[in-house]
Amino acid sequence: MNDQANRHQRRLPPAVRGRAQDRSRDDLIIGAALELLAEKGYHGLTMTDVAARAGVSKATLYRRWTAKADLVADAVATLNAMEPPLYPGTSLRDDLLALMEQAGNCDDRPEIVTATMEMARLHPDLYRTLAERFGTFVRAELDKLARRAADAGHVPLSEVELDVLSDTVVALLAHYAGPAGASVPRERLIRLVDHVLMVLMTGARAAE
């Protein structure tokens, strides 16, 4: 799993898991969970099926994840939308657009994204877990870009301002994506960057 997923994953911490574990089994379990999400959706997925598909015991699975919502959140987090993008580094605007394009892209395994979004509306535990996970990812990346902007001479953002910025991004991306979790059109992402994010981060719109 990628570094971002490792930092914010729902997997049990080492102190709870007990003895050392083979990390390769994590990937087997995550892969099995994604396959079953695509085949059965969230409602039809069971921890027993995941363990069987991954070729591990249920004890092995439950030493890592005790709740289905946490396992699904970690599995979905390995998709492209919650991986840090390759920032061009040419300007703050370009880096923000790269982040928005990554966060607003649901084209990686769309059948999984659609199934998960549908079930999240019916399962509050899954919704809360996914929302927390996505919000944490967006805030961490915006914090990174805000620090770069401050190094370039812009006024640093306070923690409260960063929270508001992150909440704004998450809310607008969710609105643009709609209930089915569709990818956000690039034109809307450009407007979001130029007329919202650049204003909140620098006090000025991006140059037309």
Query: How do residues 60-102 score in pLDDT, each as one tens digit?
Result: 999 999 988 889 888 877 776 667 889 999 999 999 999 999 8
pLDDT at residue 147 tops 80: yes
Query: CB neighbours of 150 closer than 8 A, spacing ≥ 6?
Result: 156, 157
C-beta separation of 1 from 75 below 8 A: no
Query: How do residues 114-141 score in pLDDT, each as one tens digit?
Result: 666 666 777 777 777 777 878 888 999 9
CA distances from 111 to 38, 46, 66, 114, 193 (A): 6, 18, 25, 5, 28
SS3 45: coil
Q: How many residues does the chain have?
A: 208
CA 152, 171, 124, 1: dihedral to nearest 10 degrees?
-40
pTM: 0.68
As a whole number, the mean pLDDT across the chain is 81
Query: How do residues 162-193 score in pLDDT, each as one tens digit?
Result: 999 999 998 888 888 776 667 789 999 999 99
> Which amino acid is residue 16, in one-letter code?
V
Fold of 80-202: Tetracycline Repressor; domain 2 (1.10.357)
> Could you tell me where in the chain the CATH 1.10.357.10 domains are found?
3-76
Residues 57, 62: Cα–Cα separation, whole Å: 9
- For 162-175, b where at least 16 C-beta lie within 10 A, e where not — what string? beebbebbbebbbe
CA distances from 80 to 16, 42, 50, 152 (A): 29, 19, 22, 29
Residues 184, 18: Cα–Cα separation, whole Å: 42
> Which amino acid is residue 188, in one-letter code?
R
Fold of 3-76: Tetracycline Repressor; domain 2 (1.10.357)
